[in-house]
């Protein structure tokens, strides 16, 4: 499988696939414990092609996709901050998780941060995503704070993790 897995910077040509992967991955990752109407509302207002198109146009953000046989199976969005690169999203379709692909995206984030001469990588992760938290901690990330993520009527707690490059 890995010889057909590639990384690519995404653009408007990838918008429809980006939207599908965003919705499916978000749903798979956050549906547990979520009110179905809250989930539906979020997906229909926050992960639309219109919003993703605006995000793609931002000069301080990049979308780095991971593809299997040229089909988008996941991506990460990175944002250029003063002293850090923020990994805003790492989304990977469920069938492709636990195959080392998150590691490839994280390696690319490290490489990208170094080319931008940043000091840190920063991200948030849902507090109930224990496997994700362990993954980031194994790669040198440490908790530096928390962020609240509203999902409808719910307030989800997300630790802010940071790693010095």
2-164 CATH: 3.40.630.30
Tell me: pLDDT of 123 over 70.
yes
Q: What is the pLDDT of residue 7?
A: 98
CB 8 within 8 A of CB 67: yes
Residue 102: Cβ within 10 Å count: 22
Average pLDDT value over all residues in the chain: 95
Q: CA distances (Å), 101 to each of 6, 41, 49, in order?
A: 10, 29, 25
Higher pLDDT, 154 or 89: 89
Going by C-alpha positions, the residue among 46, 140, 120, 107 that lies closest to residue 80 is 120
Tell me: pLDDT of 61 over 70.
yes
What are the residue ranges spanned by the domains of the chain?
2-164
Q: What is the pLDDT of residues 105-115, one digit of tens each?
A: 999 999 999 99
CB 63 within 8 A of CB 56: yes
Helix (H, G, I), strand (E, B) or coil at 158: strand
Q: What is the pLDDT of residue 87?
A: 98
**34 in the Ramachandran plot: left (φ > 0), alpha (ψ -120 to 50) or beta?**
beta
**The dihedral sign for the CA sequence 158, 81, 83, 108:** positive
Q: What is the pLDDT of residue 3?
A: 72
Residue 97, Cβ density class (10 Å: 0-12 exposed, 13-18 middle, ≥19 buried): middle
Q: What is the DSSP letter of 16?
A: H
Tell me: pLDDT of 136 over 90.
yes
Tell me: pLDDT of 70 over 60.
yes
pLDDT band for 39, please (50, 70, 90 cuts).
very high
pLDDT band for 160, please (50, 70, 90 cuts).
very high
Q: What is the pLDDT of residue 1?
A: 53
């Amino acid at each position: 499988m890995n010889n057909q897995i590639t990384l690519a910077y995404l653009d408007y040509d990838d918008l429809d696939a980006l939207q599908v992967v965003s919705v499916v991955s978000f749903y798979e990752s956050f549906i547990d414990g979520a009110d179905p109407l809250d989930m539906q509302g979020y997906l229909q207002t926050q992960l639309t092609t219109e919003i993703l198109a605006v995000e793609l146009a931002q000069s301080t953000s990049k979308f780095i996709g991971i593809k299997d046989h040229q089909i988008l199976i996941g991506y990460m969005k990175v944002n250029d901050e003063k002293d850090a690169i923020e990994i805003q999203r790492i989304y990977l379709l469920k069938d492709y998780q636990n195959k080392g692909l998150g590691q490839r995206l994280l390696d690319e984030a490290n490489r990208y941060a170094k080319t931008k001469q940043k000091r840190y990588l920063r991200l948030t992760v849902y507090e109930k995503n224990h496997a994700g938290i362990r993954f980031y901690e194994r790669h040198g990330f440490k908790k530096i704070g928390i962020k609240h993520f509203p999902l409808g009527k719910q307030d989800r707690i997300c630790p802010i993790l940071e790693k010095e490059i």
